[in-house]
Amino acid sequence: MRTKVFVPYLFLTPALVLFAIFMGYPIVYSLLLSFQTSVSGELVFTGVDNYAKLFSDKIFGKALLNTFIILIVQVPLMLFTSLLLATLLNSLKRFKALFRVAFFMPAVTSLIAASIIFSIILMNDGILNQLLGAVGIDPIPWLSHPVWAKVSLIIAMTWRWTGYNMVIYLAGLQNVSESLYEAASIDGATRVRQFFNITIPQLKPIILFTAILSTIGTLQLFEEPYTLTKGGPSDATITIGMYLYQTGFRYFNFGYASTLAYVIVILIGILSYIQFKVTGDE
Amino acid sequence: MVAKRVRVSITTLILLIGSFISLFPFYWAIIGGTNESGKIFAKPPVLLPGNQLFENIRNLNESIGIGRVMFNSLFVTIVYTILALVVSTMAGYVFAKFNFKGKTVIFGIFLLSMMIPYHAIVIPVFKMMAAWGWLGTYKALILPNIAYPFAIFLMRQNMMAVPNAMMEAGRIDGVSEWGLFTKIILPSSKPALAATAIYLFMYQWNNFLWPLISATSEDMYTMPVALSSLFGLSRIDYGQVMAGVTLATFPIILFFLMLQKYFIQGMLGSSVKE
């Protein structure tokens, strides 16, 4: 029995039409917008002016730097923790499902709700500083000091996404042959060596997958600084995503905001390419 | 044997500490939501739930009209999830089970668009909605993200597992293509449907940037937008805010716990199979 040629297209029509209207067209249109500037209320083409402006825009420089600092510290830290937790959880015989749900829970909540709870926990007289005080550590200005504010963002992001990545790694671990570990044990390799010499190389493609996902997420970082630090103190935690929102929807400069959006697109492209090259040599 | 037992204990201890860190903020939101504002910063800290929940919810209702906001969130999320599930199931099915001209190109475009940040789409969509007069309507909140590439991808990955023989048998028996889809494919992809449904539900329930931009009046606010508006005020009533956070988190946690088995399976299906 042969199916009629048009059948797949019929099934695909709703997705294709909606995709074309609400994603395809906007993606192209915003590329065009990125070459336009508002001149007395009218958007006119001004070539690469917006892109040239990036180089002299101090806030953009800060946003780019902040985003990169957070990216470089947070993504490796989180992925390593996820991998470690997955390995530990995988070695457990009982309560596996329970722990998995507990660790996954943060990924289920809204970023806004989570950021609000975090900002309350991290306030000067919040519970975290009180706990630290109990062990003799002076209160830390989590949200009002340029360095600590970045640390706070990193903590909030790590809290939210570690369990998510852990679950992905757990799945990957199930495909790693038990015999590799047995052979290594016979050769006298310690657990730590097995982790670095078997687990990490075996999971390489999945680590790459999570690294790319996390990079994409971090480059778009918006809700956490919007709620936790409002980009402050004095732009110490402004991210490209947040600067884009301010430019577009507070100052209604759609042209320049689209340029910033395409900067994110370009960065995601470059970084994904590098990650592919570094991690996947085949 | 002793060494092994010690190792298991240490492992369990680390996992317990990790779980505690994962779950504590939820617990803290409940504590805050059920106590007076001041108690959240009391010294020594109050660690047990109080009896101020209804008082806090009443205040919350006065500030943001919690009933209306809850309704908006639930209505938008449920309608969105149903529509997006239908669209992505049909598309995922086609990509998993058919060969046709342009398949690789179309699927490739869908996959690539997953790398395009939402930020690059939001301004044109906003302009479009403004031109159509849709801003501040449910249409604007629900329609734009219905063809959600990740959901299509998730359905496709999971539907590849449905045996082709079942479809062939149906075709030989003269079942129509639509009948094949509804009577054979759908019933055998229940876990995939559940996984995608939670994913879509979660995505829309938690969505912030688009509702923030498109809900132009307070009576169109969804939970996250209303919460953030509350948190932005100069004098914040923390009891109220925490009660709001608890209410915003409750439905999604419930939905997740009910379907988590399928969800984790579905997610695994999508990430492991290449």
Tens of pLDDT, residue by residue over A227-274, are 999 988 989 999 999 999 999 999 999 999 999 999 999 999 999 899
Find residue A45's DSSP bridge partners: A36
Across the interface, whether the CB atoms of A4 and B257 are under 8 A apart is answered no
Mean per-residue pLDDT of chain B: 90
Peptide bond into A233 cis (omega under 30): yes
Residue of A6, A30, A83, A247 to mutate when probing chain B, most B C-beta within 10 A: A30
The whole-angstrom distance between A172's CA and the closest CA on chain B is 6
CA dist A51 and B39 (Å) reads 50
Across the interface, whether the CB atoms of A110 and B248 are under 8 A apart is answered yes
pLDDT tens for residues B5-41?
888 889 999 999 999 999 999 999 999 999 988 888 8
CA dist B215 and B135 (Å) reads 7
Across the interface, whether the CB atoms of B224 and A118 are under 8 A apart is answered no
Q: Are B249 and A109 in contact (CB under 8 A)?
A: yes
- Residues A179-186 have a mean pLDDT of 89
pLDDT tens for residues A214-226?
999 999 999 999 9
Maximum CA pair distance of chain B?
A: 75
Task: Enumerate the residues of chain B whose CB falls inside 8 A of the CB of residue A116.
Answer: 227-228, 231, 241, 245
CA dist A63 and A69 (Å) reads 10
Q: Residue A2 — pLDDT band, cuts 50, 70, 90?
A: low
- Percent of chain A topping pLDDT 70: 98
Q: Residue A51 — pLDDT band, cuts 50, 70, 90?
A: very high
Per-residue pLDDT, B268 = 63
Minimum CA–CA partner of A163 in chain B? B22
Across the interface, whether the CB atoms of B123 and A103 are under 8 A apart is answered no
Tell whether the model's pLDDT for residue A86 goes beyond 50.
yes
Nearest C-alpha neighbor of A254 from the set A28, A20, A13, A41:
A41
Per-residue pLDDT, B30 = 94
Q: Residue B274 — pLDDT band, cuts 50, 70, 90?
A: very low
Three-state SS for B233-246 is CCCCCHHHHHHHHH
Minimum CA–CA partner of B250 in chain A? A109
DSSP 8-state class, residue A122 = T
pLDDT tens for residues B44-83?
888 899 899 999 999 999 999 999 999 999 999 999 999 9
Tell whether the model's pLDDT for residue B264 goes beyond 80.
no
Tell whether the model's pLDDT for residue B271 goes beyond 60.
no
The whole-angstrom distance between B212's CA and the closest CA on chain A is 10
Tell whether the model's pLDDT for residue A72 goes beyond 90.
yes
pLDDT tens for residues A155-173?
999 999 999 999 999 988 9
**Does B216 touch chain A if contact means CB atoms closer than 8 Å?**
no
Tell whether the model's pLDDT for residue A94 goes beyond 90.
no
Q: Residue B273 — pLDDT band, cuts 50, 70, 90?
A: very low
CA dist A159 and B21 (Å) reads 8
Per-residue pLDDT, B31 = 94
pLDDT tens for residues B91-102?
999 999 999 999
The H or E element spanning position A37 is strand A36-39
Nearest C-alpha neighbor of B206 from the set B191, B227, B192:
B227
Across the interface, whether the CB atoms of B98 and A222 are under 8 A apart is answered no
Across the interface, whether the CB atoms of A265 and B117 are under 8 A apart is answered yes
Q: Residue B258 — pLDDT band, cuts 50, 70, 90?
A: confident
Q: Are A159 and A85 in contact (CB under 8 A)?
A: no
Across the interface, whether the CB atoms of A261 and B120 are under 8 A apart is answered yes
pTM: 0.91
Tell whether the model's pLDDT for residue A282 goes beyond 70.
no
Q: How many CB atoms lie within 10 A of CB A268?
A: 20
For residue A225, which amino acid is it?
P
pLDDT tens for residues B170-208?
888 888 889 989 988 898 888 889 889 988 999 999 999
Q: Are A279 and A208 in contact (CB under 8 A)?
A: yes
The whole-angstrom distance between B230's CA and the closest CA on chain A is 10
Per-residue pLDDT, B120 = 87
Minimum CA–CA partner of A272 in chain B? B115
Beta strand spans in A123-282 (E): none
The whole-angstrom distance between B33's CA and the closest CA on chain A is 11
Distance in Å from the first CA to the final CA of chain B: 40
CA dist B222 and B26 (Å) reads 20
Q: Are B178 and B86 in contact (CB under 8 A)?
A: no
| Tokens describing residue A189 | 């390799």
Peptide bond into B44 cis (omega under 30): yes
| Tokens describing residue B228 | 């953030």
Per-residue pLDDT, A280 = 63
With a CB cutoff of 8 Å and minimum separation 6, the contacts of A177 are none
Cα–Cα distances (Å) from B7 to A17, A87, B10, B190, in that order, read 56, 13, 5, 39
Orientation of helix B66-97 relative to helix B238-272, angle to 10°: 10
Per-residue pLDDT, B267 = 66
Provide the CA B77 distance to its chain's centre, in angstroms.
8
Residues 100-129 of B with CB under 8 A from A: 100, 103, 106, 109-110, 113, 115-125, 127-128
Task: Enumerate the residues of chain B whose CB falls inside 8 A of the CB of residue A269.
Answer: 115
Per-residue pLDDT, B259 = 84
With a CB cutoff of 8 Å and minimum separation 6, the contacts of B98 are A3, A7, A8
With a CB cutoff of 8 Å and minimum separation 6, the contacts of B85 are B151, B193, B196, B197, B200
Cα–Cα distances (Å) from B272 to A151, A176, B2, B266, in that order, read 32, 12, 36, 10
Backbone angles phi, psi at A44, to 5 degrees: -125, 150
Helix (H), strand (E) counts: chain B: 14, 0
For residue A215, which amino acid is it?
T
CA dist B148 and B168 (Å) reads 29
Minimum CA–CA partner of B269 in chain A? A171
For residue B53, which amino acid is it?
L
Per-residue pLDDT, A281 = 56
ipTM over 0.95: no
Provide the CA A215 distance to its chain's centre, in angstroms.
5
Orientation of helix B66-97 relative to helix B149-159, angle to 10°: 50
B1-27 exposure pattern, b = at least 16 Cβ within 10 A, e = fewer: eeeeeeeeeebeeebeebbebbeebbe
